[in-house]
Amino acid sequence: MYLVLLGPPGAGKGTQAKRLSEELGLPHISTGDILRQNVKDGSALGKQAKDIMEKGLLVPDELVAAMLDERFSNPDIKNGFILDGYPRTLSQAKTLDDILARKKISVDLVVYLNTSDDVIIKRLTGRLVCSKCGANFHVLNMPPKVAGLCDKCQGALYQRSDDNEVTVRKRLEVYKNEVASLIKYYNQQKKLHTLNADLDARQVLEQISLLCAKV
Ligand code: ADP
Ligand code: ZN
């Protein structure tokens, strides 16, 4: 199943994608994660993306499309994927359809994780990420058992440099400018399902699983 998770930063796309990936045995593909890895590795792409990401702006389409095309050449996507962080614009949605069409596959389901602004700000400014396995925690809502360490792999937890309030508000603004056209696009294709993602992660996961079971 080819699933796209849509929603504002902080909607819980990454959290849900990781759990679904385990549940369904499908790869979790996050453009944000791949970009951050590139920044960390100091690749040519990472060098171009770093400042843009720090500002909460979008990395240019051609760069992200090429990166994704390469990721999709991995045969692990033969039974499906969970795509998180792409598409973010109508143009990216069309690019995605083109890239997939060349591989004779198409998006089956788009789940829109609708979230309110105050929940987003609280979630992101308190978010902690594991440097080893990428698991997410939250200083208040989901604190790790041992401060600063991942429950799953003992990796060190850090705060993303774009998870400060100024950048979060910028990311939200960028997101809002683009999301309406995406929603319209996937609605027209009858692929869109909207969920209330202000609920806790377990409830949201249950609802996504139900939708997936119907595909
Ligand atoms: P969030 O969705 O919480 O903002 P992500 O990890 O998905 O976080 O993305 C972090 C940053 O990476 C974005 O603010 C943007 O700069 C860049 N990025 C990720 N995905 C894309 C994309 N599809 N197109 C352009 N830039 C992207
Ligand atoms: Zn970990």
Give the pLDDT confidence of 23-32 residue by residue, as tens digits.
Answer: 999 999 999 9
Strand 81-84 with 28-30, pairing: parallel
> Does ligand 1 come within 6 angstroms of the Cβ of 32?
yes
* Residue 210 within a domain: yes
Q: Note down the domain range covering 51.
A: 2-116+165-214
Residue 174 CA to chain centroid, in angstroms? Answer: 15
Atom of ligand 1 nearest to the CA of 30: 7
Question: Which residue of the set 36, 88, 123, 191 is catalytic?
Answer: 88
Amino acid at 57: L
> Does ligand 1 come within 6 angstroms of the Cβ of 179?
no
| Whether 24 and 55 share a structural domain | yes
Residue-level pLDDT at 129: 95
pTM to 2 decimals?
0.92
Residue-level pLDDT at 47: 97
Any idea what DSSP says for residue 152?
T
13 touches 5 (CB < 8 A): yes
| Whether 68 and 130 share a structural domain | no
Phi and psi torsions of 170, nearest 5°: -65, -45
Other beta carbons less than 10 A from residue 214's beta carbon: 7
| Nearest ligand for residue 148 CA | 2
Query: What is the tens place of the pLDDT at every residue in 54-105?
Result: 999 999 999 999 999 999 999 999 999 999 999 999 999 999 999 999 999 9
Q: Considering only CA atoms, which of 120, 159, 126 is closest in space to residue 143?
A: 126
Residue-level pLDDT at 25: 96
Whether 71 sits among the annotated catalytic residues: the reply is no
Average pLDDT taken over every residue of the chain: 95
| Whether 61 and 91 share a structural domain | yes
* Residue 121 within a domain: no
Closest CA to ligand 1's atom 16? 53
Q: How far is CA 10 from CA 41, 73, 120, 184, in A?
A: 25, 29, 5, 22
Residue-level pLDDT at 59: 97
Residue-level pLDDT at 209: 95
Q: How far is the CA of 150 from the centre of ligand 2 (A)?
A: 5
pLDDT of 141 above 90: no
Phi and psi torsions of 94, nearest 5°: -70, -40
Residue-level pLDDT at 39: 96
Quickly state the pLDDT bin for 215 (edges 50, 70, 90): confident
Q: How far is the CA of 175 from the centre of ligand 1 (A)?
A: 10
Encoding tokens for residue 67?
A: 């990166």
How far apart (Å, rounded) are the C-alpha atoms in residues 138 and 129? 8
Q: Candidates 48, 115, 162, 163: which one to mutate for ligand 1, based on the most atoms within 8 Å of Cβ?
A: 162
